[in-house]
Amino acid sequence: MTTSVIEMANGRFALKLTQLVLWVACGLIGALIMIFAMSLGFGSYDMSVAEAFRVLWAPEEGTQATVVWKLRIPRFVAACLVGAMFALSGAMLQNVTRNPIADPSLVGVSQGASLAVVALIVLWPDVPLGARPVAAFAGGMSAALLVQAIAAGKQSTASMRFILVGIGVAAMISAGTSAMLAYGNINQAMGALGWLAGSVHTVTWTTCYILGLCFAVCLPAVVWSARPMAAFQFGPEVAISFGVRVRRDRFLVITLAVGLAAFAVSAAGPMGFIGLLAPQLAQRLAPSGTGGRLVLSALTGGVLVSGADLIGRTIAAPIQFPAGLVSAVLGVPLFIFLIIQRAKTSQL
Amino acid sequence: MTNLTVEDVHVAYGATKIVSGASLSTNSGELTVLVGPNGCGKSTLLKAMARVLPLQSGRVRLQDLDVHATPTKNVAKQLALLPQGPIAPEGLTVRELVSQGRFPHQSLWRQWSQADTDVVERVMRQTKVAELAGRPIVELSGGQRQRCWIAMILAQDTPVLLLDEPTTFLDLKVQVDLMTLLRDIAHTDQRTVLVVLHDLNVAASFADRMIMMKSGQIVVDGPVSEVLTPENLKEVFDLSADVVFAPETGLPVCIPRTGAGPVTAPQAVAL
């Protein structure tokens, strides 16, 4: 693999990348642009892509402008952000647990966040939308801390233990959510149920602003995390020998992963599987170091969710399938295909 | 010249004491091996020296740095550890693995420099893995793989190297090659190399110095010829053995007494 080193300021700033990573990143961005164009044109309100672009460039009053600006663009933006955040969260959890099946919805984080948001919808329906990410983060973090506390034994880094405890805690929290839905006010419970399916079809610009803000807050930390993660992949002992403060950095990376997943859950519901699928797909498209893997995972996550949302609302219009459902139905066969194809060289 | 000194170190897992009051010091340009029966605490002591495990009491000093009190990033430029049975991430090539050894010399903004390239190329030649540079680690034999890991910690470019059982599960010829490499690293580069080993004869063939541990304490420490004696083997390993000297090299070799009694020459011929 050809490796390029991009140097600036007399070598004081140098990035190391393989060319394949650059090409794949360009391909994924291209895919996002295509999905964006199609998202504007396709849907239950009939218009051509050309027409959609006309109202995009020349803002005007009318139904077409409303559909494009108030419904379809925020929906696409939210789908991309949610996908990227779930993917980054999954990539981080897979790294710190050194387990390729780690995913925020497997280890209780999404469930914790969901319980908090469902509680908010059912018990305090008057609380504004902006409180959801906060509640989701609190819920997700509580679940993560609980899992960490139970799983941490003599070997606090034993990854299978973390996953097993996570599955148990996730089941327990889901039971709480079910109870909330069963005994809550029927109207609010119905609303919460729609949200739980994992979709972006009710998002507004407000959701996008909140989500964008959360993502912007996390972004510097995501950039920072690439370095400790590069050391973590060799196990805690080598990471310590490399001079990484393993206990502190592990906690920070897990907190970041919880935050990203919780914010995404607060906007679009617990979309399972994206966190598992996107980093694995990215790694199989272009094997790369942790920095490259984070970028490609985020892009893959964006493509998956926005693509799934596009398919979900056009394939049987006017019925809208939630993006979470479509990404699972289409993503799983693709995932299994990749695993079988790589069976000889891959450990997974 | 960087000396690693261990002063009255105590290490425990919870309430279980593993190392109780170990003291030793290593010298540049020497290959020191640490041996002892299973569970004697030799790996634990090595991990404590590399700050992987915290100390209950005592001190580990690198020249005038306290290993456990100095910012870990500074220690990483002085001391490298190769743990037992390290696992490489999937799909990593030899060059990528060796390059990771440059980690403490890099930052988020400065991910690579010409110096990094130079060191990586040099250590790959030194460990004879240069011709494997583009191959994925998973495709290599056990011996080749271990050479790559040694290259990785060499790329860290530290005066002190600690290795935990680097020859386990490898056949004798590969063990000999690896130990020759480690001895050359100590002698020609004037580095301090401390290796935990379990094969006494391999240890005796290469070590400049041998340290024997038992029940968390250091029992003997000195030149191989003085340490590898029937008395020490009996005391430390509870092993009845003869120590003879190889006719060509004069190196001590340990031969366990198997309890079958002496075999006389005529009987051996008759067989």
- Reported ipTM: the value is 0.90
Instruction: Find, in chain A, the residue whose alpha carbon is nearest to that of B47.
Output: A237
pLDDT at residue A323 greater than cutoff 50: yes
Residue B19 burial (10 A CB sphere; 0-12, 13-18, 19+):
buried
% of chain A with per-residue pLDDT over 90: 29
- Average pLDDT of the residues in B207-223: 94
pLDDT (0 to 100) of residue B160: 95
* Gap between the Cα atoms of B209 and B218, Å rounded: 13
B77 vs A contacts (CB less than 8 Å): 243
User: What mean pLDDT is reported for chain A?
Assistant: 83
Contacts 24+ apart (CB under 8 A), A227-232: A227/A290, A227/B107, A227/B108, A228/A252, A228/A253, A229/A92, A229/A95, A229/A96, A229/A253, A229/A290, A229/A294, A230/A289, A230/A290, A230/A291, A230/B100, A230/B103, A231/B100, A231/B103, A232/A95, A232/A96, A232/A98
A291 vs B contacts (CB less than 8 Å): 111
Instruction: Please identify which residue in the block is written with the tokens 């803002």.
Output: A59
Q: Do B104 and A243 touch (CB under 8 A)?
A: yes
With bands split at pLDDT 50, 70 and 90, how would you rate the model's confidence at A133? confident
- Average pLDDT of the residues in B20-24: 92
With bands split at pLDDT 50, 70 and 90, how would you rate the model's confidence at B266? low
Angle between helices A274-285 and A73-97 (to 10 degrees): 80
Q: Do A345 and B13 touch (CB under 8 A)?
A: no
* Gap between the Cα atoms of A94 and A86, Å rounded: 12
A6 vs B contacts (CB less than 8 Å): none
A280 vs B contacts (CB less than 8 Å): none
Nearest to A347 among B14, B90, B104 (CB): B90
Sign of the CA dihedral running A157, A159, A161, A164? positive
Nearest to A15 among B88, B111, B156 (CB): B111
Determine which of A62-66, A80-84, A114-118 has the lowest per-residue pLDDT on average.
A62-66
* Gap between the Cα atoms of B189 and A40, Å rounded: 65
Residue A50 burial (10 A CB sphere; 0-12, 13-18, 19+):
exposed
Q: Do B91 and A234 touch (CB under 8 A)?
A: no
Instruction: Find, in chain A, the residue whose alpha carbon is nearest to that of B49.
Output: A241
* Gap between the Cα atoms of A269 and A192, Å rounded: 9
Instruction: Find, in chain A, the residue whose alpha carbon is nearest to that of B88.
Output: A234
Per-residue b/e over A103-124, b at no fewer than 16 CB within 10 Å? bbbbbbbbbbbbbbbbbbbbee
pLDDT at residue B56 greater than cutoff 90: yes
With bands split at pLDDT 50, 70 and 90, how would you rate the model's confidence at A15? low
| CATH superfamily label, A78-309+323-344 | ABC transporter involved in vitamin B12 uptake, BtuC (1.10.3470.10)
Which of A27-41, A152-166, B149-163 holds the top average pLDDT? B149-163
Report CA-CA distances (Å) from A323 to A72, A157, A174, A271: 14, 34, 21, 8
pLDDT at residue A345 greater than cutoff 60: no
With bands split at pLDDT 50, 70 and 90, how would you rate the model's confidence at A348? very low
pLDDT at residue A107 greater than cutoff 90: no
pLDDT at residue B194 greater than cutoff 50: yes
Contacts of B199 (CB under 8 A, 6+ apart): B167, B175
Closest to A96 in 3D by CA, of A80, A83, A112, A107: A107
Q: Do B107 and A227 touch (CB under 8 A)?
A: yes
pLDDT at residue B39 greater than cutoff 50: yes
Q: What is the CA radius of gyration of chain B?
A: 20
* Gap between the Cα atoms of A154 and B14, Å rounded: 8
Tokens standing for residue A223: 């950039």
pLDDT at residue A219 greater than cutoff 80: yes
Nearest to A16 among B14, B76, B111 (CB): B111
% of chain A with per-residue pLDDT over 70: 89
Tokens standing for residue A235: 């196990």
Tokens standing for residue A120: 């908010």
Taking the alpha carbons at both ends of chain B, their separation in whole angstroms is 56
Taking the alpha carbons at both ends of chain A, their separation in whole angstroms is 22
Q: Which run of H or E residues covers position B212?
A: strand B209-214
pLDDT (0 to 100) of residue B263: 58
In contact, A177 and A115? CB cutoff 8 Å: yes
**Residues pairing with B110 in the sheet:** A14
Give how far B109 is from chain A: nearest CA, Å.
5
Backbone torsions φ then ψ of B242, nearest 5 degrees: -100, 145
pLDDT (0 to 100) of residue B175: 92
pLDDT (0 to 100) of residue B114: 84
B83 vs A contacts (CB less than 8 Å): 235, 237-238, 241
pTM: 0.89
In contact, A305 and A77? CB cutoff 8 Å: no
Contacts of A246 (CB under 8 A, 6+ apart): A232, A236, A239, A240
pLDDT (0 to 100) of residue B195: 96
pLDDT (0 to 100) of residue A154: 47
- Average pLDDT of the residues in A96-114: 86
A243 vs B contacts (CB less than 8 Å): 72-77, 103-104
Between A26 and B268, the more confident residue is: A26
- Average pLDDT of the residues in A92-112: 87
Between B107 and B19, the more confident residue is: B19
